[in-house]
Structure 1
Amino acid sequence: MSMQTSRSPQPAGASPRRTPTEGQHGSWRRGRWILLLLVIVCGAPIAISYFMYYVVKPAGGSTSYGTLIEPQRPIPGALTVTGDDGRAQPLASLRGRWLMLSVDGGACGEPCVKKLFFMRQVRATQGAERERIVTVWLRTDDAPVPDAVRRAYPDTRMVRADPAALAAWLPAEAATSNEDHIYMVDPNGNLMMRFPSQPDPSKIKGDVTKLLKWSSIG
């Protein structure tokens, strides 16, 4: 004699019961896909700009003047900068626009002034796009900034930072230091380009123009 397992009848029109485990797994999977989609949407503009610039190379296949930093180096969370008012803030708080960085002591001799001039001119030549760029002078000591320099570059952020922390973050070419270079940080806070010492400002301008053209953020 065969035995049949009895089952409680379900009301007419009732949906099949779903175990709590299945529901939890479904919610987890949906949440994971939503998170992945958000990451893709947020990172796509920067990724596309780098791809177009370094792979497609829209300017007739020419390579960039600046050196791409690989892998990218995010602004260290512990790296703080201090203004003349004595207020300290994380350098990462400046994220949101393209940062063009220079490193020098506060006395700012001729090489320092030349870099500040190049950064100001490159930014100015971007026309309406110049507001997407912030020029930043990272000062490595407490020496007062000469009045003439301060007056000449009122739009440049002049802040003090720990030189050891900067040296650990900003890579330099062989036989140079970070004071010999100009650097670019993308709006997501990633150090992504270093320009050579004794740079050609017209070539820096070309790189910056293409970065702004192929990126929709910042």
Structure 2
Amino acid sequence: MSGSNSSVPGSDAKLEAASPLSFTVHTMPSPGLDDAARRTASGRLKMLLILAVCAAPVIASYMAYFFYRPEGRTNYGELVDPLRPLPAALPLSDLQGRAVEAKSLHGQWLLVVVAGGACDTGCEKRLWLQRQLREALGREKDRVDKVWLVDDAQALRPETLQAVSQGDPVTVLRVPREALAQWLSPAAGHTLEQHFYVVDPIGNWMLRAPGDPEPARLKRDIERLLRASAGWDRAGRP
């Protein structure tokens, strides 16, 4: 009706009483600390997974070579157990007397000969066989380096130095015999100079050939090692 108040007396009070809606603000946990912890844990997990993936081929290849031996399969050379890592402090030097870091030999399979600088007939035979073995590996030969460790202070004869410098040269390094004996060792009844020593790309001495070895059988050992490491080792140093 005109001029009348449309409000019902007491209606405002009833509305207020019927409106219990209210908001309560609770303290929320800070997301910063939890997120940081989650990121740290996730980063560590990813790093462990990466390390595991990188190490798996190496571990698998050694497991296959050392422990999985189908019937009838035997290695010719003597496996070194446990493996003997190349000492970081091994005092190596080149023929000019300059110090050479041991870690510079990492990254390739090494076929190692030990002999004095005078290089007698036996030394010459082993250096020749070292070259022939590497060449016989065909396209896999670039994964193997030839190394001659000279364990005395005698000068190399010019003709010997010329021979080991032809084609793919031999890496010739001097090392005191006493220091070398802390890493390599001969079989009972033999001298250090009578063997070939096989070193893996990580720097582990892991196989010793018999004195005066049969070339074909030693070659098969090397080929097996190269096949076992085909998934993680490539030609050339990193």
Distance 1:27 1:190, change over 3 A: farther
SS at match of 1:36: helix
**Quick one: which amino acid aligns to residue 107 of structure 2?**
G
Residues 57-99 of structure 1 show CA distances to partners (whole Å, capped at 9, x for unaligned) of 46x6411111111111111010132112222111221111101
Q: 1:174 and 2:188 equivalent?
A: yes
Alignment of 1:88-103 (within 5 A): 88-103=99-114
| C-alpha RMSD over aligned residues | 2.2
| 3-state DSSP of counterpart to 1:169 | coil
Matches within 5 A, 1:56-95: 56-57=68-69, 61-95=72-106
Q: Which of 120, 145, 164 pairs up with 2:156? A: 145
Q: How many residues were matched structurally? A: 206
**CA displacement at 1:54 relative to structure 2:** 3.0
Distance 1:73 1:38, change over 3 A: farther
Distance 1:28 1:176 in 2: 55
**Secondary structure of 1:50 counterpart:** helix
Letter in 1 for 2:209: F
Partner-residue secondary structure (3-state), 2:181: helix
4+ residue runs over 6 A deviation: none
**Of 4, 26, 38, the match for 1:9:** 26
- The TM-score with structure 2 as length reference comes to 0.77
Of the three residues 107, 119, 122, the one matched with 1:108 is 119
Distance 1:194 1:26, change over 3 A: farther
Query: Which whole-Å CA distance do the structure 1 matches of 2:115 and 2:201 have between them?
Result: 23
TM-score, normalising length from structure 1?
A: 0.84
In structure 2, stretches of 5+ residues that fail to align are 1-23
The range that moved more, 35-44 or 184-193, is 35-44
| 2:45 counterpart (19, 33, 50) | 33
Per-residue displacement from partner, 1:169-198 (whole Å, max 9, x unpaired)? 113211223222111111111111111112
